[in-house]
Structure 1
Amino acid sequence: MENTDMNQTGDMAAVLFCFPHLQGSCPRTLRLYVTRVAMYAFMLTTILMTVCGNLLVIIAISHFKQLHSPTNFILRSLTVVDCCLGCFVMPFSMVRSVEGCWYLGKHFCKVHSSLDMMFCTTSILHLCLVSIDRYWAICHPLQYRTAVPIIKVIMCIGIIWLFAFVFGFGVVFSEVNAVGLEALILMSSCVGSCALFFNKEWSIIASLVAFFIPGAVMTFLYVKIFYVAQKHAKVISDRMATVSFHELKNQASEQRERKAAKTLAIVMGVFLFCWLPYFITTIIDPFINFMTPVGIFDALVWFAYFNSTCNPIIYAFFYPHFQNAFKIIIGKIFSLKITSVILLSL
């Protein structure tokens, strides 16, 4: 990323501004045309994959009654969050990342930052809720139906949405995150900027609430689930050596247990890969006097967004009942398109 600065002689001819006719405008980020096209192509592809993938899961769970379960209700709410992130946050972040300018005004900047924090927090808390649900289903299968009824799941989902809304909009609009940074913000502000600064206290608080606490819960539960799944697979394998009558059935059960363990390992790997670098940087940045380059932060934000792209692939595409639902939905879409083309040609 090449930022263009004014030379020391005061020559401003080489500098492009976000709002050339306004005094105090931010300078635009100058890039090669090929670089800008590549960035837009990558980000647009990510946005389309995020929206379409999550929308497909929403339709599948809503349309097919056999998918109506506590786990899938959580997944549907998670995909609604990720779809909203792809529709209402990522497109504006894309323009800001590529152009280096915010064209939609100060008030919408706050709304955008609030929605960004709200949807990301909601997504992470949903992932935590999925881990709790899977823990009860795999580690305590006999108590699962009584311990995790649908009404309790719906209440938990509502609490997550409400908490994330209050947290995201409350922090941004109250500006508690910027207490003590007024001089720095005033010095770095210009027309066309949209940056969210966190002081030392709130960089730690926000990271703990939005990532590290739910992440620690997820890690603990998935380690426990992984251990139980491996234990079940070993028991099944031992039984296969002595009981030949149920050999095929036991083999299928063993494969399911191993697949569940592998899926959980992928879940945690992708989650940590996408989110951990961003939150570590968020905590460290105030302590190093905000020396992290804007380009690095943008890259880390898009890594975090990418988790919302991966969620429907990990949680839905790995399971056969979802794959069958997707085939039916996509088949109907293509048949409708073919029918409409035929009718238009007549």
Structure 2
Amino acid sequence: MENTNLNQTGEMAAVLFCFPHLQGSCPRTLRLSVIRVAMYVFMVTTILMTVCGNLLVIISISNFKQLHNPTNFIILSLAVVDCCLGCFIMPFSMIRSVEGCWYLGKHFCKVHSSLDMMLSTTSILHLCLVSIDRYWAICNPLQYKTKVTVFKVILSIVITWSFSFIFSFGVVFSEVNTVGLEMLIIMTSCIGSCLLFFNKQWGIIAPLVSFFIPGAVMTCLYIKIFHVARRHAKVMSDRVATVTRHELKNQASEQRERKAAKTLAIVMGVFLLCWLPFFITTVIDPFINFMTPIVVFDALVWFGYFNSMCNPVIYGFFYPHFQKTFKIILAKIFGMNTTSIIVLS
């Protein structure tokens, strides 16, 4: 292999390979050193913020009983999903994106692809659970406590994780997504690549199951929620002059529910904004003979990963309880005096 490289033209000799001593190795992506360093800095920062931010959410809900309610248990599970993405998926994707090489072998490539698909599916299904929770809280408040119990929420979370695992690992390891693409995979495969191809059928089915159907359900529920919330606000404004103390308490509760629904709608909106370009490209790519450049796919994947960093930031800005718990936790970590921090009510 080395002798062959010596006989190549100057342009070809400059090509670097993922595994220089193996025949059939993939070429590395050539980038200026300053660009590579900038990419690593950006991606490492994103990973650290994702892991640390979601750990704050996990610790907050786990250790403060005031945050123990069905909605926050779903948010806790969602934070676990995002934290797993930051710990087990993003670091390996970072090396692949910057170097253009996969150094961990074919089998771990399948595991990585399956986990990546599983966690993104689990995320949006969790947000779907949150929208259902908010729908019952806003649109059927009298039945909320009987319909949405901790047991039902935990059962729903377990089903969500299980379905995402079976679906994602089943698709990748059964290779149904590559049926009919055998020649393309042989032509494009090389040592050091880790690409997930979808044929036309599964290029539609997988995004439908993982993204578009749950996204449509969430959108419909939130439209209904905001319609009901606006109607309640109008009724409250008409009755403001004759309210009793009990009614004021109910109104305050309704206001908190609406604010929670608004905040979680922002979480959903950010998720859709981050992942929509990737899933649209996944659907279109098989129909344009896989002409989408790998660089574009990498950029869209990282734009999707960016969502996992945004969720804790949104909670910190919009939820007073999370703001207080974050301050308490950070104060204890850095050895600051916590007496000046207001205790949760």
| TM-score, scaled to structure 1 | 0.89
What are the Cα deviations for residues 114-162 of structure 1, in whole angstroms up to 9, with x where unaligned?
1101111111111111111111111111100100111111111001111
The number of residues matched between the two structures is 329
Aligned twin of 2:149: 149
Identity of aligned residues (%): 79
Q: Which residue of 2 aligns with 1:86?
A: 86
**Structure 1 Cα separation of the partners of residues 232 and 316 of structure 2:** 23
Residue 175 to residue 336, structure 1, CA distance change in 2 (3 Å): farther
Change over 3 Å in CA distance of 1:260–1:155 after alignment to 2: closer
1:260, CA displacement in angstroms? 4.4
Measure the CA separation in 1 of the matches of 2:137 and 2:314: 18
Number of the residue aligned with 2:39: 39
How far 1:267 sits from its partner (Å)?
2.7
Structure 1: distance between partners of 2:75 and 2:57: 8
Q: Which runs of 5+ in 2 are unaligned?
A: 1-7, 338-345
Partner deviation per Cα, 1:55-97 (whole Å, 9 max, x = no partner)? 1111111101111111111111111111001000000001100
Give the equivalent residue in structure 2 for 1:58.
58
Root mean square deviation of aligned Cα: 2.2
Q: Is the 8 A contact 2:134 2:261 kept in 1?
A: no
Equivalent pair of 1:229/1:257 in contact (CA under 8 Å): no
Residue 342 (structure 2) aligns with: none
Cα gap change, 1:133/1:171 in structure 2, threshold over 3 Å: closer, same or farther?
same
Tell me, in whole angstroms, the C-alpha distance in 1 between the residues paired with 2:167 and 2:308.
20
Native 8 Å contact 1:274 1:304 kept in 2: yes
| Matching residue's letter, 1:81 | V
Distance, in Å, in 2 between the alignment partners of 1:11 and 1:315 is 52
Match of 2:213 in 1: 213
**Structure 2 CA distance for aligned equivalents of residues 159 and 47 of structure 1:** 28
The residue number in structure 1 matching 2:129 is 129
**Unpaired runs of 5+ in structure 1?**
1-7, 338-346
1:178 Cα deviation after fit: 0.4
Distance verdict in 2 for CA 1:157–1:257, change over 3 Å: closer
- Kept in 1: contact 2:58–2:76 (CA 8 A): yes
In the alignment, what sits opposite 2:22?
22
Deviating above 6 A after TM superposition, structure 1's stretches of 4 or more consecutive aligned residues are: 244-255
Tell me which residue corresponds to 1:3. Answer: none
In the alignment, the residues of structure 1 paired with residue 311 and residue 34 of structure 2 have an alpha-carbon distance, to the nearest angstrom, of: 30
Structure 2 counterpart of 1:218, which letter? Answer: M
2:188 is the alignment partner of 1:185: no
Task: Give the deviation of 1:323 after TM superposition.
Answer: 1.3
Cα separation, 2, equivalents of 1:114 and 1:211: 16
Instruction: Give the Å deviation of 1:253.
Output: 6.8
Which residue matches 2:330?
330
Alignment of 1:154-169 (within 5 A): 154-169=154-169
- Residue 229 of structure 1 contacts residue 261 of structure 1 at CA under 8 Å; is this kept in 2? no
TM-score by length of structure 2 reads: 0.90
* Contact 2:127–2:268 under 8 Å retained in 1: no
